[in-house]
């Protein structure tokens, strides 16, 4: 049986060229080529910085849009709560229902007075403005109703 002593079979690797010839060869870059190589490296760093700034700007847009969406959803939730409070039967718990409606109206008024985050998306901005307007209309209706019927809420 033949024993394998290296990766190239039973004989191993043999050097055919002397090492002295390899030592004389050196790698060198001419000075003009070094300047040409440094210029793209600098522009790549600037390109990387620009990319990071663009990414940050894009994430800022989404943050503003998220705040506007959240504000619109909060107002819609209070409008739905107002609708539920108005649709509940007044029966024996009329005072409780009136108090609940008053609390919902107070929260809705607070949300309607807060200026929403300015969304970057024009369609989203228009939708949030419409929701805020609807909340103000409901508040005006209930304020008018309270003036016309002071005992009712």
- Give 137: exposed, middle or buried? Use CB within 10 Å, 0-12, 13-18, 19+: exposed
Residue 134 lies in a domain: yes
Q: What is the pLDDT of residue 100?
A: 84
Residue 79 lies in a domain: yes
pLDDT tens-digit readout, 23-72: 566 766 666 655 555 555 554 556 677 777 777 766 666 788 889 999 99
Residue 50 lies in a domain: no
Residue 135 lies in a domain: yes
pTM of the predicted protein model: 0.54
For the chain, the straight-line distance linking the first and the last C-alpha, in angstroms and rounded, comes to 105
Residue 24 lies in a domain: no
> Which comes out higher in pLDDT, residue 90 or 68?
68
Q: What does the alpha-carbon distance between residue 66 and residue 117 come to, in Å, rounded to a whole number?
A: 9
Average pLDDT (125-144) is 91
Q: How confident is the model at residue 4 (pLDDT cuts 50, 70, 90)?
A: low
Q: What is the pLDDT of residue 92?
A: 46
Name the residue range of residue 90's domain.
Answer: 64-148
Average pLDDT (124-150) is 84
Are the C-beta atoms of residues 122 and 129 closer than 8 Å to each other?
A: no
Residue 77 lies in a domain: yes
Q: What is the pLDDT of residue 13?
A: 54
Q: What does the alpha-carbon distance between residue 123 and residue 130 come to, in Å, rounded to a whole number?
A: 11
Residue 95 lies in a domain: yes
Tokens of 45: 């760093």
Total domains in the fold of the chain: 1
Tokens of 61: 């847009």
């Amino acid at each position: 049986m033949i024993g394998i002593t290296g990766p190239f079979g039973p004989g191993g690797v043999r050097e055919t060229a002397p090492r002295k010839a390899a030592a004389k060869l050196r790698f060198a870059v001419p000075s003009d080529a070094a300047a040409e190589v440094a210029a793209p490296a600098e522009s790549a760093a600037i390109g990387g910085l620009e990319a990071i700034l663009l990414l940050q700007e894009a994430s800022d847009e989404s943050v503003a849009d998220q705040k506007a969406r959240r504000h619109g959803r909060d107002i819609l939730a209070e409008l739905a709560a107002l609708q539920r409070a108005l649709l509940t039967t007044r029966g024996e718990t009329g005072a409780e229902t009136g108090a609940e409606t008053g609390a919902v109206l107070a929260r809705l008024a607070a949300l309607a007075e807060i200026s929403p985050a300015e969304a970057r998306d024009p369609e989203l901005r228009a939708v949030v403005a419409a929701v805020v307007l609807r909340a103000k209309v409901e508040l005006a209706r209930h304020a008018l109703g309270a003036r016309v019927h002071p005992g009712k809420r």
